[in-house]
A and B are shown apart, each in its own frame.
Chain A
Amino acid sequence: GAVVSQHPSWVICKSGTSVKIECRSLDFQATTMFWYRQFPKQSLMLMATSNEGSKATYEQGVEKDKFLINHASLTLSTLTVTSAHPEDSSFYICSCRAQSYEQYFGPGTRLTVT
Chain B
Amino acid sequence: DQQVKQNSPSLSVQEGRISILNCDYTNSMFDYFLWYKKYPAEGPTFLISISSIKDKNEDGRFTVFLNKSAKHLSLHIVPSQPGDSAVYFCAGGGTGGATNKLIFGTGTLLAVQP
Q: Mark A residues whose CB is within 8 Å of B.
A: 2, 4, 6, 34, 42-44, 46, 49, 91, 93, 95, 101-108, 110
Beta-carbon contact of A44 and B89 below 8 Å? yes
Residues of B within 8 A of A102 (CB): 34, 46, 49
In whole angstroms, what is the CA distance A102 to B49 when docked? 8
Chain B, interface SS category: loop
Chain A, interface SS category: strand
In whole angstroms, what is the CA distance A6 to B43 when docked? 10
Cβ of B31 within 8 Å of any chain A Cβ, yes or no, is yes
Beta-carbon contact of B46 and A105 below 8 Å? yes
19 inter-chain pairs at a CB distance below 8 angstroms, sorted by A residue, are: A2-B46, A4-B43, A34-B102, A42-B106, A43-B106, A44-B104, A49-B101, A93-B44, A95-B44, A95-B102, A101-B31, A102-B46, A102-B49, A105-B45, A105-B46, A107-B42, A108-B41, A108-B43, A110-B41
When C-beta atoms are compared, the residue in chain B nearest to A59 turns out to be B101
In whole angstroms, what is the CA distance A2 to B45 when docked? 10
Give a binary string over B27-50; 1 marks a CB under 8 Å from any A CB, 0 the rest: 000011010100001111110010
Beta-carbon contact of A105 and B31 below 8 Å? no
In whole angstroms, what is the CA distance A6 to B44 when docked? 13
Using known A-B contacts A43-B107, A101-B49, determine if residue A34 contacts B101 with beta carbons closer than 8 Å.
yes
In whole angstroms, what is the CA distance A108 to B89 when docked? 16
Residues of A within 8 A of B105 (CB): 43
Cβ of B95 within 8 Å of any chain A Cβ, yes or no, is yes
Using known A-B contacts A2-B46, A34-B101, determine if residue A43 contacts B36 with beta carbons closer than 8 Å.
no
Residues of B within 8 A of A42 (CB): 106
Beta-carbon contact of A105 and B101 below 8 Å? no
Beta-carbon contact of A108 and B42 below 8 Å? yes
When C-beta atoms are compared, the residue in chain B nearest to A48 turns out to be B101
When C-beta atoms are compared, the residue in chain B nearest to A5 turns out to be B43
Query: B9 to nearest A CB, angstroms?
Result: 9
